[in-house]
A and B are shown apart, each in its own frame.
Chain A
Amino acid sequence: MAPSSIGGPGGPVGVRHHIVTVTVENKAGVLARVAGLFSRRGFNIFSLAVAPTDDERFSRITIVVDVESAPLEQIIRQLDKLVNVVAISELAPEEATERELLLATVEAGPDERGQVIQLVGVFEGRIVDVGREAITIMLAGAPNKIDDFENLIRPFGIVELQRTGRVALPKLERRTTRLRTIAGGAGEDGAG
């Protein structure tokens, strides 16, 4: 894969991915700084999602990074140097509750409609729009579930499909210390 490309090589992302949650100041150009850092250093991104936090001064960027393109530690330390980055936490996939949203418009004329609706029901998705020859589906869930669903609806003919990229929080049964907050206490941890 080319350096700093976005999106995996087709299939679901495997062990080479890691989730980095970056709290940034809500200022103009901050996303460009984060994205620019990845491209400048040749770090690869699988997916990226940005949203405001409950504190309007900050936004949260959830980045699924390719830890084969660079050591995770190096990615985090370079991110931490960005002046607008306030805190970074990293989560291994097995320690995270991850969710993603999919919107897809699928070809579904009167003959196939029933089958598609059935699939949506099995996956607990929702029909959000219905046309004469197509329907639009929404599905939220764990990324691998979304992958499965995407594969199953593909034969019907996908008109358009969008995924949001994943967001994640640490699993509750794990000790919260596993959610390693890099910045914030960074002055003390010595980064040895």
Chain B
Amino acid sequence: MRLTGAQALIKSLEMQGVEVIFGLPGGAILPVYDPILDSTIRHILVRHEQGAGHMAEGYAHVTGRPGVAMVTSGPGATNIVTPLADAAMDSVPLVVVTGQVATTAIGTDAFQECPITGVTMDITKHNWLVTDARDIPRVVAEAFHVATTGRPGPVLIDVPKDVSNSQMDWYWPSSLDDLDLPGYRPRTEGDPSAIRAAAELILRAERPVIYAGGGILKARAADALREFAERTGVPVVTTLMARGAFPDSHPLCLGMPGMHGNYTAVTAMQHADLLVALGSRFDDRVTGKVSAFAPEAKVIHVDIDPAELGKVRRADVAIAGDCRIVIEEIVEALGTLGLESGGSAGSGTTAADRPDLAPWKAQLSEWQQRFPLTYRQEEGGALKPQLVVEALRDSTPDDTIVVAGVGQHQMWASQYWRFEHPYTWVNSGGAGTMGFAVPAAIGAKVGRPDKMVWAIDGDGCFQMTAQELVTASAERIPVKIAILNNAYLGMVRQWQELFYEERYSEVYLSPDLPDYVKWAEAMGCIGMRVETAEEVAPAIEKANSVDDRPVVIDFRTDAFEKVYPMVPSGASNDDIIVGPSEGEGGR
């Protein structure tokens, strides 16, 4: 069968099972847009290419399948650089197709030429410049393979216009042997001797903590994690990237650690004698000052990316492997050492000599009782953002997908939501990309139309990518957006208040410029405004009843509320600040 490169590209995406492409056409990608008309693949026309990238990310986060975006050369391609960087930081599988000027024009500074493979070299897992139409099916298969195996990540395929216009004989690589990836060998199972050593360390620990990261979700290891925690009775912290990987209501769940983590999660790690790091990477937002982090802990570190092992913190037992497989192997090894399901130990086994964890658990519950997350809603006072998050949580199904922007609202969303299921939390962790929430929520809703999707966004973030609500209206994608409108770049304002003597430099935004309700309506959404605590629940209820278009609620929240607890940047986690100091609370 003779096909053009463009037809082969679309057919290859179909062969990969792609159901949706987020994109926006232009000159260099024009040939590829023509066969889209005849394809079963749905195309969603975005209003800005950054939106396409974040939609693809949101889709990938909730489905576990790679998100696909397609854009033109030059500015189209550079507009999707931010989502690629975001996906690289958070290990999100993305396949981005960019148009490129004709091979004969490459290097001549042709109209809309941009060397996008060079630009994105360090922020993709890999990228390809296709120079021959015959390579297209193979490269597409390679791209999906690389994006989705090992540590997932974004990839980019750059397709010059003459390549998509030229003819080729269609084929499809039927097996991995037909791919040309001699240097790519992702790992799966762990090293058996290390598995045994890990199991022994676990059985000797008196104050163990499981430090669960986003890798648990990538490896689809939430069930394995639960089995492991329950069998060992070891408490679990879930990082910002791992919210939902372990149910917040579980008695062993300590919640989120890190810069804005809760006191118990942060302090448990500081006092632990063993950290079992599963798919987590000792990010500086979790460790605080590295040299003061968990000083007494031995470390078991499991990660599919060997380069993470020992990168920040030396591991006593380092295991390169898929989290789900390695956790199952450790559970099996624990069984061999006498730890039975339900946590009881066979007599005369290693497990029978295990230290009693009861004093540790008692200490943890004491901390939980003494230092819960708190805020105070004054009657008739400014609306507290935490109250809005709690109201949303309490009046939505518990499998609602929550998508956050970046800033204070993101931290409150993570702190005050109660995550019960994996893949219900979508956020930009490693990159902290403002503007992520609206498009990512749209992508998430496309991936899981059966679920309610709420974005909790900041007023600053919303203004960066709000135009994608036009896309959502046009495509009838009924996402719901809660803007926690504090009239500020709140997180930056908080730092200026605390660390720059309240000298506020370029952080004020205004509560009513723009008019978010009118803006929402202009974009085909329902817009509402909420100013008092009493109005919160009815507005959410009304939003929940809408299913044919997007809804935006402008919650006017207290501009001076700060996120606590807080470990100041660069400080030790021991120096956690639990709440506002005397006299500061009323601000």
Contacts and interface: CB of A to CB of B under 8 A. Distances in A.
A77 B308 CA distance: 9
A77 B305 CA distance: 9
Given A84-B183, A187-B185, A191-B320, A74 B146 contact: no
Contacts of B182: 25, 57, 86
A9 interface: no
B183 A190 contact: no
A65 interface: no
Given A36-B122, A83-B181, A29 B311 contact: no
B389 to A, nearest CB: 37
Nearest to B155: A83
A83 B146 CA distance: 8
B121 interface: yes
Contacts of A74: 307, 310-311
Interface in A139-192: 183, 186-187, 189-192
A81 B320 contact: no
B141 to A, nearest CB: 14
Contacts of B122: 36-37, 40
Nearest to A185: B185
Interface residues of B, number: 29
Given A29-B117, A191-B318, A192-B318, A73 B126 contact: no
A108 interface: no
Contact of A82 (B117, B183, B193, B310): B183
Nearest to A190: B191
Given A36-B121, A191-B318, A83 B183 contact: yes
B306 interface: yes
Contact of B306 (A57, A71, A77): A77
A183 B118 contact: no
A83 B121 contact: no
A106 to B, nearest CB: 39
Contacts, number: 71
A32 interface: yes
Given A78-B307, A83-B184, A190 B319 contact: yes
A80 interface: yes
B578 interface: no
Nearest to A57: B182
A37 B320 CA distance: 21
Contacts of B190: 190
Interface string B297-318: 0000000011101110000011
A33 interface: yes
Interface string A6-29: 000000000000000000110011
Interface in A73-129: 73-74, 77-78, 80-87
B282 to A, nearest CB: 13
Interface string B120-147: 0110011001000000000000000010
B194 interface: yes
Interface string A29-42: 10011001100100
Closest 9 CB pairs of A and B: A190-B191, A191-B306, A77-B307, A86-B183, A83-B126, A191-B320, A192-B194, A85-B183, A40-B122
14 contacts: A29-B129, A37-B122, A77-B306, A78-B307, A81-B307, A82-B126, A83-B126, A83-B183, A183-B183, A186-B306, A187-B185, A190-B320, A191-B309, A192-B318
Interface of A: 24-25, 28-29, 32-33, 36-37, 40, 57, 71, 73-74, 77-78, 80-87, 183, 186-187, 189-192
Interface of B: 117-118, 121-122, 125-126, 129, 146, 181-185, 187, 190-191, 193-194, 305-307, 309-311, 317-321
Given A83-B146, A192-B320, 19 more contacts: A25-B182, A28-B129, A29-B117, A32-B118, A36-B121, A37-B122, A77-B309, A78-B307, A82-B126, A83-B184, A187-B185, A190-B191, A190-B194, A190-B320, A190-B321, A191-B306, A191-B309, A192-B193, A192-B317
